[in-house]
Structure 1
Amino acid sequence: MATNSTAKAATQRLFDSVKLGSLALDNRLAVAPMTRISATETGHATAPMCDYYSAFAEGGFGLIITEGLYTDEAFSQGYHFQPGLADASQRDAWKPIVERVHASGARIIAQLMHAGALSQGNRFRSGTRGPSAERPAGEQMAFYRGAGKYPLPVAMSVTEIEEAIAGFAAAALRACEAGFDGVEIHGANGYLLDQFLTEGVNRRADAYGGTVAGRLRITLETVEAVRAAVGPDFIVGLRSSQGKVNDFHHKWRGPEEAAEIYGLLGGLPIDYIHTTEFEAWQPAFGDGASLASLAKRHSGLPVMANGSLHDPLRAAELISDHGADVVTLGRGALTHADWPHRVATDAEIAEFDGRILAPLADLENAERFRAAA
């Protein structure tokens, strides 16, 4: 067991400064994107959301990544009361949040998300779209106001794929205009871009299916479109995972396929890859390297690692032993918005209590939970 002095030395690396592309961070601690379904019905960020995000900045996190923001007024929205970046008014609603986070010394990145076939609430269109007409596994998430099985999606036409890509690019430009420090393209957790990558979900026979390169084509084209929209200096990242919100146990074919995927992603004009697993330090394929390690090795890019890293020693291990440049916290940040300050001062860190997300994972429920605690 580590002594207090050795533990302190190990966790000190979490507080080293680091750069992601041109973006300088005061430490290696970031808040992971977490869906909170607390915007207005029309997708506008709210005053409670401003308090929520700024609390992490005030608590010492060097970087905050927003929840997934829908990108267009077609098929991208995933949840009722999800915030968006699909028009100018939604863009402007984010400006006070960005300004307040910056005033507290942190940076903030907007995560851009297209839910695809996993959409369970879209005020713009009826029905869903995906790479193929395959009903998603599992059931809709009740704590995001869903119920029952996912609907059967319609396979996207090439024109609809192009429209989705254009939506990512337009939303990225709005993020830049709102003052965000960068964008993170959501290519993970079973949402649209990940649906295209996933065998069995993507059964296309055209250029967007088949091989790894074909199944990654929409991701590659999305990144290129976003980069063209925001220019060379704005931060662009990409989130990557094996598991999905509707299929926790999904795996790629093995380390060889991971090497191919991350090799292709490493050739893109992005500033980092953000990997997420249930437990980030575990081998990605039964034994051997973690997903974060594989991403680092085969892409050559800076890596953020996410997954049950609320133990400070575990978080430090991802940096010292797995090659991660930044660690991102979800449950740990929800438990303590001032998690970095607590680690720095050896203050108590409580266990996560799932009631903060039940029956709904919104800010109103979290406030009720804290009031009753």
Structure 2
Amino acid sequence: MADNGTRAATILNRPIQLGELSLRNRIAMAPMTRQFSPGGVPDADVAAYYARRAAGGVGLIVTEGTYIGHESAGSSDRVPRFHGEDALAGWAAVADAVHAAGGRVFPQLWHVGMDRAAGTPPVAEAPPMGPSGIPLDDRPAGKTMTPTDLDEVIEAFATAAAAAQAAGFDGVELHGAHGYLIDQFLWEHTNRRTDSYGGDIAGRTRFAAEIVSACRAAVTPGFPISFRMSQWKMGAYQAKLAESPQELDAVLAPLARAGVDAFHCSTRRYWLPEFDGCDLNLAGWVKKLTGKPTITVGAVGLANEFLQSLQGDQTDATSIDGLLDRLEADEFDMVAVGRALLADPAWAAKTLAGRHDQVTPFEPSMLGRLH
């Protein structure tokens, strides 16, 4: 039987195809907001930050969420944007740096919707808006989006996707998870609309599918589109888009038809089953239902002590044996690593070389000094 290092190299080091894009291995960097881009412009430090992870063996970098060109898209002037000549020039430099280090990179395109606090930058006068103006928490209600608002946001996503390809990126990811705008349409709690963009699952999925379709039309046919999705929301960890595989299929099918090439399935613990009676996690179910490649994510590589400090979790996620078992069984196709890669840019290279015992563990104190 192969030792853990050989096994990790064999399973994780396999190439994979997303659309017309070939990736060198099965490891992705998960998107993580840092707010290190004053004025919304990624600088040379941002390019170096991503290039270090690519040089450290990561096959696919998914950038932190980056705001599309819509006034209500964001809630910070330190989060990067994906519009404007200055920001796009910065992003082109990021793509060049990642490519020079041997990696591939997608920007994650983002609209926060009702998560925006009124009066915050980058456009202080822009109202928070969503499908029904209903936030996830107890903040005041915002604007219910009009048909014109819907069209403008769809166009902004498509424009950003085209800009990504023009800037040399290898694909795009649409942020449809965690209770932000696209997810607010998908979730019945925040989508109370009575028009064709609300109601049953088919109606609630229409906005997301139209965004995917518009992005697909804005880029070349083989340019990959990833869709990040989750059941849970920020501050609503037990939320569900779908209570059963049948309901999940109803959400996924329109997105797959519209042109999604891969689904990035966000869970808080990748090893937990999504539905009773089956061990498949969310990424496993999504692959089973759509036939599309899936990326799993959720506490990969985090030490037992850190997980316990969060939720009293007794599982040691530093070990990747269970992850390798699932990848070997083709439950899902790739794994996205977040905080473990923040702590150690060489996490991928060390893991692939069987030096997982040399990985620098993540500690919360690292968050303010990530490079």
TM-score (norm 2): 0.89
Take 1:286 and 1:307, find their aligned partners in 2: how far apart are those partners? 19
**Is 1:193 aligned to residue 191 of structure 2?**
no
Secondary structure at the aligned position of 1:227 is classed as helix
- 1:281 aligns with 271
Q: Contact 2:71/2:126 (CA < 8 Å) preserved in 1?
A: no
Inter-CA distance 151–81: structure 2 relative to 1 (3 Å threshold): farther
Structure 1 residue runs without a partner (length 5+): 138-148, 358-364
- 2:256 aligns with 266
Take 2:366 and 2:238, find their aligned partners in 1: how far apart are those partners? 25
CA deviation vs aligned residue, 1:287-345 (integer Å, no higher than 9, x gap): 42211111001111111111112243243234123521111100111121111111123
Structure 2 residue runs without a partner (length 5+): 302-318
Identify the range of structure 1 (308-317 vs 251-260) with the bigger mean alpha-carbon deviation.
308-317
> 2:193 is matched by which residue type in structure 1?
R
Give 2:201's match in structure 1, choosing from 195, 206, 212.
212
**Is 1:48 aligned to residue 58 of structure 2?**
no
The total of aligned residue pairs comes to 347
Take 1:269 and 1:258, find their aligned partners in 2: how far apart are those partners? 17
**Is 1:355 aligned to residue 365 of structure 2?**
yes
- 2:24 aligns with 26
CA displacement at 1:133 relative to structure 2:
2.6
Take 1:7 and 1:59, find their aligned partners in 2: how far apart are those partners? 16
Superposed, 1:237-256 pairs within 5 Å as 237-251=226-240, 252-256=242-246
Inter-CA distance 88–233: structure 2 relative to 1 (3 Å threshold): farther
CA deviation vs aligned residue, 1:174-216 (integer Å, no higher than 9, x gap): 1111111010111111110000000111100000001111001
Take 2:277 and 2:116, find their aligned partners in 1: how far apart are those partners? 34
Superposed, 1:113-128 pairs within 5 Å as 113-120=110-117, 121-124=120-123, 125-128=125-128
Question: What is the CA RMSD across the aligned residues, in angstroms?
Answer: 1.8
Take 2:200 and 2:350, find their aligned partners in 1: how far apart are those partners? 47
Give 2:62's match in structure 1, choosing from 54, 60, 65.
65
Superposed, 1:1-373 pairs within 5 Å as 5=3, 8-10=6-8, 12-41=10-39, 43-120=40-117, 121-124=120-123, 125-137=125-137, 150-251=139-240, 252-288=242-278, 289-310=280-301, 311-321=319-329, 323-347=331-355, 348-357=358-367, 365-367=368-370
Secondary structure at the aligned position of 1:241 is classed as strand
**Runs ≥4 in structure 1, deviation > 3 angstroms?**
none
Take 1:350 and 1:4, find their aligned partners in 2: how far apart are those partners? 24
Q: Percentage identity across aligned positions? A: 34
Q: Contact 1:71/1:86 (CA < 8 Å) preserved in 2?
A: yes
Q: Contact 1:88/1:174 (CA < 8 Å) preserved in 2?
A: no
CA displacement at 1:33 relative to structure 2:
0.7
> 1:219 is matched by which residue type in structure 2?
A
